[in-house]
Amino acid sequence: MSARVELREVTKRFGAVEAVAGVSLEIAAGEFLTLLGPSGCGKTTLLRLLAGFEAPTSGTIWLGGQDVTPLPPYRRPVNQVFQSYALFPHLTVGENVAFGLRMQRVPAAEVKERVRQALELVSLTGLDARPPDQLSGGQKQRVALARAVVCRPQVLLLDEPLSAIDAKLRHAMQLELKRLQRQIGITFVFVTHDQEEALTMSDRIALVNRGRIEQVGSPPEIYNRPATAFAADFIGQANLLPARLVAGEAGGARVRLEGGLELRLPAGAWPEGVAEALVSIRPEKVHVAKSKSRARSKFPEDQTNTFEARIEEEVFKGATDHLRLATTAGTRLAAVVANESALGEVFHEGDRVFCGLHADDLVVLRLG
């Protein structure tokens, strides 16, 4: 029922602009894959190429093992949920949902039943006689979804479907979509610029930047081991610290950060033949303690870089504290600590603290 999707060396040029540059991607059948990236990165173009609204300048597109590159949208076993919903204003909700089935010349009785099921699936039972302009944003979204899903496509494309919905409803709908996908098992290709959304919903994320895919992986993979500076910065927060190689040691490398702090990196962490790079560490992975003994109890010595710092700024955010740390030498870091319990430590501006960075939490990224 659902299909595997493949893009092979797909390029799309609009005039002089290369919106998609030599992209190759494999999406497994039944997978929930998100194309994530900033505005203008080409993710929507990729989606439109899959749908058939654009034809690639070069490269091929395969669905379920078939080359669908020359096929127009109405011949592909693909359906799309549009960002603006694109509900037909001259048809009722029921007629909208039935549209695709009518185009397939499904018999009327079957149409009626399948429409009812689709509306039930998206929790809109009973609204089939309503005209679209009387629906709320969330309801319209669900009608658009029902309309696409009822056609039983092999792949469902979703173009930022939740971007126009307010925050609270959006969270609920994210989970609902995820549940739905699990339930009906269709391959979902989801486009968004919201990294939190991507992390919540996806089986895998493809990070798109300037027409290229920078990294593909599961949310934890992308989060913990970003492959590029863009990846590290786009998802979550990251300290991107410019570092210079000081010396290659037997078990690894020693690098110096701006402001003088030196770190030891494990073997293989620093790329060969490179003098300067970025060291990335997520703020929540910066361990902070008020006393040295406390710090030592947390961190095993041989795998951790420890250093002293002063809290320059502290922002209380309820469940977490956001700290800006500065070493005596001037290296600056952002850290996030959880306010675990009344027994936990309380941090204030101006405190002297001991910090630790675990080797496995450090990611070295090439410059540029």
Residue numbers of the site for another protein (CB under 8 A)?
A: 51-53, 72-74, 78-80, 82, 84, 86, 88-90, 99-100, 102-104, 131, 147-148, 151
Smallest distance from the beta carbon of 104 to another protein, in angstroms?
6
Nearer to another protein, 96 or 239 (CB): 96
Nearer to another protein, 160 or 214 (CB): 160
Smallest distance from the beta carbon of 55 to another protein, in angstroms?
13
Nearer to another protein, 52 or 356 (CB): 52
Nearer to another protein, 74 or 183 (CB): 74
Nearer to another protein, 51 or 265 (CB): 51
Smallest distance from the beta carbon of 121 to another protein, in angstroms?
17
How far apart are the C-alpha atoms of 145 and 79, rounded to whole Å?
10
Question: Cβ(160)–Cβ(107) under 8 Å?
Answer: no
Nearer to another protein, 43 or 287 (CB): 43
Tokens in use for 294?
């406390």
Residue environment code for 255-276, b if the CB has 16+ CB neighbours within 10 A, otherwise e: bbbeeebebbbeeebbeeeeee
How far apart are the C-alpha atoms of 247 and 95, rounded to whole Å?
70
Query: What are residue 95's phi and psi, to 5 degrees?
Result: -70, -35
Smallest distance from the beta carbon of 79 to another protein, in angstroms?
6
**Residue 40 to residues 46, 80, 161, 165, 194, Cα–Cα distance (Å):** 11, 20, 17, 21, 14
Tokens in use for 163?
């971007």
Smallest distance from the beta carbon of 334 to another protein, in angstroms?
41
First to last CA, the chain: 42
Tokens in use for 153?
């496509």
Residue environment code for 195-218, b if the CB has 16+ CB neighbours within 10 A, otherwise e: bebbbebbbbbbbbbebbbbbbbe
Smallest distance from the beta carbon of 162 to another protein, in angstroms?
17
Question: Cβ(285)–Cβ(246) under 8 Å?
Answer: no
Nearer to another protein, 191 or 289 (CB): 191
How far apart are the C-alpha atoms of 262 and 254, rounded to whole Å?
7
3-state secondary structure of 338: strand
> What size, in residues, is the chain?
368
Question: Cβ(54)–Cβ(40) under 8 Å?
Answer: no
Smallest distance from the beta carbon of 322 to another protein, in angstroms?
41
Nearer to another protein, 144 or 337 (CB): 144
Smallest distance from the beta carbon of 192 to another protein, in angstroms?
18
How far apart are the C-alpha atoms of 188 and 157, rounded to whole Å?
6
Nearer to another protein, 89 or 318 (CB): 89
Smallest distance from the beta carbon of 95 to another protein, in angstroms?
10
